[in-house]
């Protein structure tokens, strides 16, 4: 039996403005609740699969969020493809936000994640990934992101990482940034 760890993430003060694209396999209602708290005119699109991609507009979204969904994409080439698509969907200077598990090869993840959203409400998500061959590490995510996005924030703690990155808008910036260091100071409490 694998112990279930409990992790807290405070998203109570997260504010997303403009058009928002929420990509995920599961709709937890977390992003919607945060978004509606700070926006009167709600323009949020939730996408769960490839078949819905044709309805998504290019260069339209100010923000894209992947909440515990990037780790559900198998193979690096598929992760690269989704990042390429997100790059096309975001406006100039658009941001991508990723919260996900930091699990490398030969590791497992089994936790209850409690997320504090506006008004002090708590949403619980159970995340289990026992696939020893799957790489869902933050290091891999950062390497895949840096072709299309410039890192603005990176935090990790308790097996969870958070990334905020901005769309790169010129060919000079589209070169892969190798060797950049990223700070690890994420607090899930």
- Could you tell me if residue 105 is inside a domain? yes
175: pLDDT strictly greater than 70:
no
**Please, which residues bridge with residue 65 across strands?**
22, 97
Contacts of 102 (CB under 8 A, 6+ apart): 136, 137, 138, 156, 159, 160, 161
Reported pTM = 0.85
User: pLDDT tens digits for 12-21?
Assistant: 989 999 999 9
In a domain, 12, yes or no: yes
* Confidence at 109, pLDDT banded by 50, 70, 90: very high
User: Given this model, what pLDDT does residue 178 score?
Assistant: 39
Mean pLDDT score, 158-165: 97
Domain count, the chain: 1
Identify the pLDDT of residue 137.
97
Does a structural domain hold residue 41? yes
Lowest mean pLDDT among 27-31, 47-51, 142-146: 47-51
- DSSP string computed for the chain: -PPPEEEEEE-TT----S-EEEE-SS--SHHHHHHHHH-SS--EEEE-SGGGGGGSPTT-EEEEEEES-GGGS-SHHHHHHHHHHHHHHEEEEEEEEEEEE-B-TT--EEEEEEEE-GGG-EEEEEEEE--TT--B-HHHHHHHHTTTEEEEEEEEETTEEEEEEEE--STTTTS---S----------
Residue 106: pLDDT band (50, 70, 90) is: very high
Q: Which residue has the higher pLDDT, 9 or 26?
A: 9
Asked whether residue 48 carries a pLDDT value surpassing 80, the answer given is no
pLDDT, position 186: 34
Distance of CA 5 to the CA centre of its chain: 21
pLDDT of residue 172: 53
Q: What is the mean pLDDT of residues 112-137?
A: 94
CATH assignment of the domain containing 165 = 3.40.50.150
In a domain, 188, yes or no: no
Residue 120 located in a structural domain? yes
Confidence band (pLDDT; 50, 70, 90) for 1?
low
Q: Is 124 domain-assigned?
A: yes
- Residue 189 counted as domain residue: no
pLDDT of residue 171: 55
pLDDT at residue 77, as a whole number: 95
87 located within any domain: yes
Q: Which domain holds residue 109?
A: 5-183
CA distance 100 to 98: 6
**180 phi, psi to nearest 5 deg:** -70, 140
Q: Are 40 and 83 in contact (CB under 8 A)?
A: no
């Amino acid at each position: 039996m694998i112990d279930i760890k409990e992790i807290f993430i405070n998203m109570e003060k997260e504010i997303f403005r403009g058009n928002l694209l929420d990509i995920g396999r599961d709709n937890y209602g977390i992003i919607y609740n945060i978004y509606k708290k700070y926006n009167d005119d709600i323009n949020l699109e939730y996408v769960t699969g490839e078949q819905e991609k044709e309805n998504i507009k290019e260069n339209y979204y100010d923000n894209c969020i992947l909440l515990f969904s990037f780790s559900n994409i198998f193979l690096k080439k598929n992760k690269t493809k989704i990042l390429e698509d997100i790059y096309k969907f975001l406006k100039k200077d658009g941001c991508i936000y990723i919260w996900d598990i930091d699990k490398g090869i030969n590791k497992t993840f089994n936790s209850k994640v409690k997320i504090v959203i506006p008004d002090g409400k708590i949403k619980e998500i159970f995340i289990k990934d026992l696939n020893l061959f799957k790489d869902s590490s933050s290091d891999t995510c950062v390497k895949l992101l840096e072709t299309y996005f410039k890192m603005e924030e990176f935090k990790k703690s308790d097996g969870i990482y958070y990334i905020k990155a901005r769309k790169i808008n010129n060919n000079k910036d589209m070169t892969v940034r190798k060797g950049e260091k990223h700070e690890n100071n994420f607090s899930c409490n």
